[in-house]
């Protein structure tokens, strides 16, 4: 018999994909230049030339070796490069033994949640949040507990988190720079969170793991992104090169279990077990080899910074309210009515595709992904204008 939950997940794709598919269809009908698709987070800038050069170099290697299996956690040399990179950038004594290569951040998150939870546990997220967190935690038999961020500044609400943590809390997922809001949690905010978690670990007598989802780590507009593992020992970092190197379709990332954790080796063994149980072993080998040499390639944030400026200026002129983003490539825009689904529908009527906050466990906002061409942003002015006029 079909598994009902899987059937539901498969037959009701998430709203972002639905809007994106709608955009493709509309582009075919009315022309690409007439659709302003702010729906999906596909990087609009190409991967650095070094990626192509590395692929060409790799293609010269014997294919039976190049395309062969690696050990389940990945190639030792690549895990070493990741550990060295973490040590050099953040000063943490990272070792290759604690790095597990994955098919992007998605697999890293599934593995992490499965490794450190039991069915019936609770996992806290800060709302609004990347919607797949719910699927991940529920797949592990856990309950997702949503704690709203402070709406005044979109930082972690430490008092609300204090009230939400209980003996069933196994983990918390944080994401900074954040999708969908674009906020970056300050060092003070992370330090306050760490102090709270330490206190709650003592109170309940078990670890509360902090899963730090960091695919946008390099995409910032001047803000410092504190490296969470430097502030809280029970941290598991989930990373992806999807955004930083514009490689979302190549599915490459990693889990790093902090070497500072008391039971680091055991947690890492559970990570390996979760990888095995979920079938996330031996991440794409070509792209393990690509990141091995391209890990220090700078992210081209310039194009996103320019888009951010154009879009913010335009929305200022039109009188929209939004959260000035510190990182990632999303703008969190206040809907002009309480019902963000209805607002997104109203925008759609102008071929302006905005994702409603309801997709992220929020209310009253929409997300605009500005990882698109700056021409599209400029051309979308009339659609934003017409949408505003609908509400006047
Ligand atoms: N986490 C966040 C916050 C994201 O925005 C995304 C993708 O957009 C992911 C995880 C998944 O990343 P990946 O494509 O590497 O699986």
Q: Could you write out the DSSP letters of every residue in 7-40?
A: HHHHHS--HHHHHHHHHHHHHHHH-GGG-EE---
Q: Where in the chain is the domain with CATH 3.90.1150.10?
A: 4-47+300-390
Question: Is the shortest distance between the CB of 307 and ligand 1 below 6 Å?
Answer: no
Q: Where in the chain is the domain with CATH 3.40.640.10?
A: 69-294
The CATH number corresponding to 69-294 among 3.40.640.10, 3.20.20.450, 3.50.50.60, 3.40.50.1010 equals 3.40.640.10
Atom of ligand 1 nearest to the CA of 109: 10
Give how far the C-alpha of residue 242 lies from the chain's centroid of Cα atoms, to the nearest Å.
Answer: 9
Dihedral, 64, 66, 67, 69 alpha carbons, nearest 10: 90
In a 13 Å sphere around the CA of 70, the CA atoms on its Cβ side amount to 23
Considering the domain 4-47+300-390, what is its CATH architecture? Alpha-Beta Complex (3.90)
Atom of ligand 1 nearest to the CA of 248: 14
Angle between helix axes 104-116 and 132-139 (nearest 10 degrees) is 40
Q: Which of 161, 84, 81 is nearest to 126 (CA)?
A: 161
pLDDT tens, the chain, 392 aa long: 999 999 999 998 788 989 999 999 999 999 999 999 999 989 999 999 999 999 999 999 999 999 999 999 999 999 999 999 999 999 999 999 999 999 999 999 999 999 999 999 999 999 999 999 999 999 999 999 999 999 899 999 999 999 999 999 999 999 999 999 999 999 999 999 999 999 999 999 999 999 999 999 999 999 999 999 999 999 999 999 999 999 999 999 999 999 999 999 999 999 999 999 999 999 999 999 999 999 999 999 999 999 999 999 999 999 999 999 999 999 999 999 999 999 999 999 999 999 999 999 999 999 999 999 999 999 999 999 999 999 99
pTM of the entire predicted model: 0.97
Give residues with Cβ within 8 angstroms of 304, minimum separation 6.
45, 219, 329, 370, 371
- The tokens for 206 are 């078990």
Cα–Cα distance measured from residue 155 to residue 233, given in angstroms and rounded to the nearest whole number: 21
Question: Is the shortest distance between the CB of 253 and ligand 1 below 6 Å?
Answer: yes
């Amino acid at each position: 018999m079909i598994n009902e939950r899987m059937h539901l997940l498969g037959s009701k794709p998430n709203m972002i994909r639905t809007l994106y598919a709608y955009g493709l269809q509309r582009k075919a009908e009315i022309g690409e230049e007439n659709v302003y698709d702010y729906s999906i987070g596909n990087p609009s800038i190409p991967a650095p030339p070094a990626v192509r050069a590395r692929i060409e170099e790799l293609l010269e290697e014997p294919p039976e070796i190049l395309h062969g299996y690696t050990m389940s956690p990945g190639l030792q040399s690549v895990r070493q490069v990741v550990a060295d990179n973490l040590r050099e950038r953040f000063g943490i004594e990272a070792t290759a033994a604690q790095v597990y290569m994955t098919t992007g951040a998605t697999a890293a998150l599934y593995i992490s949640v499965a490794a450190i939870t039991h069915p019936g546990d609770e996992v806290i997220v800060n709302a609004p949040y990347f919607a797949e967190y719910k699927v991940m935690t529920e797949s592990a038999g856990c309950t997702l507990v949503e704690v709203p961020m402070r709406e005044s500044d979109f930082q972690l609400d430490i008092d609300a988190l204090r009230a939400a943590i209980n003996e069933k809390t196994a983990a918390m997922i944080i994401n900074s720079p954040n999708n969908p809001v674009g906020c970056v949690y300050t060092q003070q905010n992370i330090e306050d969170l760490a102090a709270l978690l330490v206190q709650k670990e003592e109170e309940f007598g078990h670890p509360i793991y902090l899963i730090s989802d960091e695919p946008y780590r390099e995409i910032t507009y001047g803000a410092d992104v504190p490296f969470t593992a430097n502030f809280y020992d029970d941290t598991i970092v989930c990373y992806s090169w999807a955004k930083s190197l514009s490689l979302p379709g190549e599915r490459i990332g990693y889990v790093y279990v902090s070497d500072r954790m008391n039971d680091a080796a055991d947690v890492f063994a559970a990570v390996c077990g979760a990888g095995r149980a979920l079938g996330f072993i031996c991440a794409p080998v070509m792209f393990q080899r690509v990141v091995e040499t391209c890990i220090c390639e700078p992210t081209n944030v310039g194009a996103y910074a320019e888009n951010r400026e154009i879009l913010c200026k335009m929305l200022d002129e039109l009188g929209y309210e939004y959260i000035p983003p510190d990182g990632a490539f999303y703008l969190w825009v206040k809907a002009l009515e309480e019902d963000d689904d209805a607002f997104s529908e109203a925008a759609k009527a102008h071929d302006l595709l905005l994702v409603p906050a309801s997709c992220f466990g929020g209310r009253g906002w929409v997300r605009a992904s500005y990882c698109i061409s700056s021409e599209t942003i400029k051309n979308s002015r009339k659609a934003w204008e017409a949408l505003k006029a609908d509400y006047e």
